[in-house]
Chains A and B, each alone.
Chain A
Amino acid sequence: MEYLTVAVPKGNLFDESLKLLDYIGFPANQLKDENRKLIFTDTRAKMKVVVTRNFDVPVYVEHGAADFGIVGKDVIAEMKPNVMELLDLRYGRCTLCLAGKEKDDPKFLNNVRVATKYPNLASHFLSKEGIRARIIKLHGHIELAPLLGLSTYIVDLVATGRTLKENNLFIIKPLFSSSARLIANPFSWKLKRDVMLDFFEKARFYIEERSVMNVSGHHRR
């Protein structure tokens, strides 16, 4: 039987993704050790897990280098990869927001500068809102931009709002809500259909179980 390769992103989705993999049968303990290893193999589960940056997950999956991937809806919407979007994993919930140093809506200003990691989503939603913006693409710590005067506003993901608060920034408008998704390569799906269906069914069951537990209040996070 062939191995299944799963791409998992570093960062916010990592811990929850490991729990999911553990449930599916991949012993995820080996991923928790702090080392520089990037590929983890389990011969019993017949699985390989690769750890990448979140924006790289869809690239690996679209090109078939990974069969499955776990990645935020925000990244999928930004990159529009040619992949199967199978399951809402319901963790890593956050909102893409327009934020700034002041609470005022920039609707009637011209050419406001907006820093973001999501240039496509930002220009789509801002033009929908009637905001004429100049988008500045950054790769991280977006909230620095308004503090140093690089931009007046930012479009960035907000989960708890703590980072914004600590940097004296305010949410002006929520634009788009996101959560973790299970994606797959469509050709992998045909070539390894049985094992992939099995993985998918287990993941679906895990998510259903977990949300039942959350609703009944026994396991609230």
Chain B
Amino acid sequence: MNLKNELSLPAGFFDLEFEKAAAKRRLENNFADIFVNKGYREFSPSLIENYELSDFSLVPKNKIFKFIDKTGDILALRWDYTTSLARFLKMNSEKISFPLKVFYCGSVFRFFEGSMGRPREIIQFGAEIIGGDVDGEIELIEGIFEFLKGTGVKGFRISVSEAEYLKRLLSAEHLPAESLEKILHAIKCRDFIMLNELASTLFPEQREDLFDVLLSGKNSVDFRPEMENFLEKLKNSLFDIPVDFDPSLVLDFDYYTGPIIEIYDQNKTSIGKGGRYGFLSKMLGIDKNGFGIALNLNYILGL
């Protein structure tokens, strides 16, 4: 490459010049003000993590930027904030008093192939509450919407699901683990053709039910009482925002427990995602549930 004439930025990255940088600064300040008022403290983890930490994450390993340092250790660029927070909790668990309420503003990095117009740097603003209760979770969501309403983006909607919902719908305890994994993979990829094939052989009787739930958004198995409680409180506090049910939001049974939500808008863009996660206790031995939501600021900033 002739550096003198052909300076460029790799695909998927961006410079924030002047107005954009000022807009980001303003949004950061708004976000911080809202959450500091709710008793949250800022958490700014290292940009670099050990690659091994990605074992505790939902982000696929082939989407993580990794590199090798002089000693041969594999390092990775921060791919999300929740995993870094979990690592911090594990390292400092005796010193921390719960509930712990934190917010963060910064970038995460994911590798995407090809030219589909997907960014590789994603500016995320988010908040997490560890060891809180349902009211704390609702307060967090209210903070998120207070912020979103100030950004000028309109026409928000929320999709909700419950982590264990599909397990109950499929009576998953009767299914071999390997089959369940294949079904979940098909649902995650929203591949209804593969799902149809799997369902026809594994549970022909529930097949129609499953498709009805996934495509029509009809709720054919009841939510758990605590999920009902969460939903009722959510609808009461965000009465002007439409809430729909999307069971394909289930991402991982080991990671999430209870409610999962996604915020999107009329432009068919995902603005934020999150939910209640149980992986701290299941995988890290920290006896607390967490709840967090991360917002995609690239969209809000028009990047």
Contacts and interface: CB of A to CB of B under 8 A. Distances in A.
Contacts, number: 51
B189 A85 contact: yes
A159 B11 CA distance: 35
Contacts of A81: 116
Interface stretch (A44-52, A56-64, A96-104, A162-170): A56-64
B40 to A, nearest CB: 29
Given A85-B190, A85-B192, A181-B193, A79 B217 contact: no
Interface in A162-208: 181, 185-191, 193, 197, 200
Interface string B248-260: 1000000000000
B246 A190 contact: yes
Nearest to A84: B190
A85 B191 contact: yes
A85 to B, nearest CB: 5
Interface residues of B, number: 24
A58 B267 CA distance: 17
Contacts of B215: 189, 197, 200
B216 interface: yes
B3 to A, nearest CB: 26
Contacts of B116: 58-59, 62, 79, 81
B192 A84 contact: yes
B192 A87 contact: yes
B71 interface: no
Interface of A: 58-59, 62-64, 79, 81, 83-88, 120, 181, 185-191, 193, 197, 200
Interface of B: 113-114, 116-117, 157, 159, 189-194, 215-217, 244, 246, 248, 264, 266-270
